[in-house]
Amino acid sequence: MIKTPLIIDTDPGVDDTIAILMCLAHPNLDVKAITTVGGNTSVEKTGKNALKITELAKMTPKVVKGAQNPLISVLTTAEEIHADDGMGGIGLPEPKSHFYEKDAADTIYEEAMAANGKLKILAIAPQTNIATALLKYPILKEKIDTIVFMGGTTIGGNVTLGAEFNAYVDPEALKIVLNSGINCVMVGLNVTHETVVTSEQNEVLKRYNSPQAKVITTLIDYVNNHEWTRHFEGAVMHDPLAASVLMDPNVINTKHYYVDVELKGELTRGATVVDFYNKTGKKPNVHVALSSDNNRFIEILDDMLKVYEDRITT
């Protein structure tokens, strides 16, 4: 079986943690590196959290502490959602492993060149690391197969009226990625908000007893018990949905559109603008997710928990 080489660019992050654990479990994904960035919390914490997650999964991809700040703006974080440690206060042990010696841009370049055009990137954070790599190594435009990113939206935002968090934190970076010519899949709020795990569904998932499954179901409970979840039917699975696209592309329905991101405006900075009616006449650059299959997502999540369960007995 030929596995897909993958880099996860992330800012763990409650839902990031679930997404990373899903990818580390999947038999067809070869997670080469996890590059971290300031986002949900500082890069000092997101980097350490990534080390904790890989040790929990008993996997050894390269873990890289990447950009602390966006390309030009001040970092906006989200500890009010993810807790002070960024992981819902679940208290994973301090990591014993160490960061990879190269920076994020050099690691992305290294893995892209080694994969010879087959590398995929799961981008579930502000895309500062990826944009920095593209600026430093223009050849990456030809060496990265696909970027699946959780970010943006075709509807209203969750930080401002127009902007989703990852796009809002570093819209300049997102614009570089959107204009790179790399095949991109946008998994935005319009589909992640309809992808949830209810408390009742999570109780079923708790039949699994692996340490990894217990962390995932604990984090889902954390989200379901959070004040802002009252707006939804269950725990919203932003980053895990994006991860599941790598496991089954049919978990979302997409159409190919031209997408850009607004860099100015009190109400619009960070807003992603989708050219639904080809007003610009520009070539489509993003496969935009327009709907998701919640039942299929639950199946994929269940399958990944079963992988960890099976590892206990083998």
Hey, which residues are catalytic here? 238
Do the Cβ atoms of 188 and 152 come closer than 8 Å?
yes
Do the Cβ atoms of 55 and 97 come closer than 8 Å?
yes
The token pair at 276 is: 């639904």
Strands 62-65 and 119-124: unpaired
Separation in Å, CA 249 to CA 48, 119, 217, 311: 30, 16, 24, 26
Q: Where are the beta strands (DSSP E) in the chain?
A: 4-10, 29-36, 62-65, 119-124, 144-150, 183-187, 196-197, 235-236, 252-257, 259-261, 272-274, 286-292
Task: Measure CA 117 to chain center.
Answer: 21
